[in-house]
Amino acid sequence: MKTLKIAIQKSGRLNEKSVEILKNCGLSFENYKSSLISSVSNFPLEILFLRDDDIPEYVQDGIADLGIVGENVITESGAQVSYLQKLSFGKCTLKIAVPNNSDITEISELEGKAIATSYPVILEKYLQENNVNAQVRTISGSVEIGPGLGLSDAICDIVSTGGTLKSNGLKPFAEVMKSEAVLIGTAGVELEPEVLELLQRIRSVLRAKE
Ligand code: ATP
Ligand code: ZN
């Protein structure tokens, strides 16, 4: 029997729920401590603990057969993978926000402005679709401080409760993308019986939660 590999986030916002859903499928394994790989003792599966940004490529290239990652990360990576199942956790929205005192109220008013983001691919596509020429400034984190530092006129970042925006004097005005965690698989390969079995278990766990 082939041993499948599933890539999940090593630590961060998706780690706990990813582990939980696999455990709820009846899989028995040691959680990530220091080793990158954990073997499941009662299913032909190995779990790879990775940074979420690396998961789409691993699955695209078939190094992992499956992965659990946010749709935002998949889209940003440009990786070609197949979406097997939405998982109902890790929900968030990528939004454009401006300072509270900004007079920008419409997307067209971003013309010529600088927008700081960690999601340049998704943002560029959105701006193109809306026929706006803006300057996208890529920074890897804490984009909310951009406007306060005079680095940008607006930001495009993940918002879940809006608390971070608020405490940085920003208000959201446009929704760029909704995201949640999804189970992905390598594209263009026939699903192995073990993958189908796992998928079925995941779906019944999700159904039981409804
Ligand atoms: P890594 O160290 O694995 O690269 P990270 O810092 O990039 O982790 P996290 O902050 O752990 O990422 O977020 C992982 C994913 O959780 C996000 O890509 C997104 O899909 C989802 N998510 C849900 N709510 C939020 C939120 N409020 N802020 C950021 N991400 C969120
Ligand atoms: Zn990341």
Q: Judge if 50 and 110 occupy the same domain.
A: no
Q: Judge if 170 and 108 occupy the same domain.
A: yes
Q: Judge if 83 and 100 occupy the same domain.
A: no
- Show the beta-strand stretches assigned E in 2-153: 4-9, 37-39, 45-50, 66-70, 81-86, 92-99, 114-117, 135-138
Question: Binning pLDDT at 50, 70 and 90, where does residue 160 land?
Answer: confident
Q: Judge if 58 and 118 occupy the same domain.
A: no
What pTM, to 2 d.p., does this model score?
0.95
**Best of 32, 74, 92 for a ligand 1 pocket test (most atoms within 8 Å of beta carbon):** 92
Instruction: Give the ligand at the shortest distance from the Cα of 17.
Output: 1
Q: Give the structural domain span for 46.
A: 4-90+180-209
Is 51's C-beta closer than 6 angstroms to any atom of ligand 1?
yes
Domain CATH for 148: 3.40.190.10
Q: What is the pLDDT of residues 49-90, one digit of tens each?
A: 999 999 999 999 999 999 999 999 999 999 999 999 999 999
Q: Judge if 148 and 159 occupy the same domain.
A: yes
| Total domain count, the chain | 2
Model ipTM value: 0.97
The one-character DSSP state at 107 is: G
pLDDT average, residue stretch 158-180: 92
Question: Binning pLDDT at 50, 70 and 90, where does residue 162 land?
Answer: confident
Question: Binning pLDDT at 50, 70 and 90, where does residue 34 land?
Answer: confident
Question: Binning pLDDT at 50, 70 and 90, where does residue 1 land?
Answer: low
Q: Judge if 125 and 188 occupy the same domain.
A: no
